[in-house]
Amino acid sequence: MYMKENKRQCQTVFIRRYKLVLLLCVSLFSLCNYANASSNDTQLFIKPARCIALHQGQVCYQTLKIIWQTDIADNYCLLQQGNNTPLLCWEHAASGTGNVEFANHTSVKLILVRTRDGQTMTEFMMEVAWVYEANSHRESHWRIF
């Protein structure tokens, strides 16, 4: 009995410490150029917040580091808006980390959803930028001095 109680106390202390460490990490990451999206009690940090392609219209590739945290442990997935295939999922978790290989030619929303009811916990706009603008569409024409 005493052993069980002791074990529970240890687990509680561990979870508290783990949460403290996670909170510390989240705070540090927010100071280290991570972009932050928060909604209610859910926080989502993504680094880098922008993907830079050379030319407008090119697919931009970027490895994104994801950190999120919420109050209630549940099953969550990170989705790209307009695509139902999850980028990453976590089970029975109130926080999570992971890497996502981003590849897109336009800015897109990344959404953290609770899988059991599809509720959006928070969302983040992943921006795609470029160095060189694409030329605007032009009609064929001849110039005269």
Partner 1 sequence: MIIQKISQLLFCTLIVAAFECNAGDLSADVGKGANSPNNVDGSYLEVGGGLNIGTEIFYGIPEGNRHGKIIYSLEPSVNLRMQNNGWFVEAFSASFEAFTLGYNLSNSDHWSLDIVGLQQHPEISSRTSKDLKGVRPRHFDFMSGPRATGYLGNYIVQVHALTDVSDKHNGQVLSAKIAHHWQYKNWNIHAIGGVSYRSDKVADYYLSVEPEDATEKFPEFHAQAGFIHMFEVGVTYPLSQQWVFRSSFQHYELESQWSDSPLLASTHASKLLTSISYVF
54 is a site residue for partner 1 (CB under 8 A): yes
Distances (CA, A) of 52 to 11, 55, 82, 103: 44, 9, 22, 11
Q: Which of 21, 59, 72, 73 binds partner 1 (CB under 8 A)?
A: 59
Least distance to partner 1, CB of residue 4, Å: 53
136 is a site residue for partner 1 (CB under 8 A): yes
Question: Residue 10 — φ and ψ, nearest 5°?
Answer: -60, -45
Is the CB of 72 or the CB of 103 nearer to partner 1? 103
Q: Which of 26, 44, 46, 60 binds partner 1 (CB under 8 A)?
A: 60
Sign for the CA dihedral angle at 32, 34, 35, 39 comes to negative
53 is a site residue for partner 1 (CB under 8 A): yes
Degrees, nearest 5: CA angle 24-114-96:
25
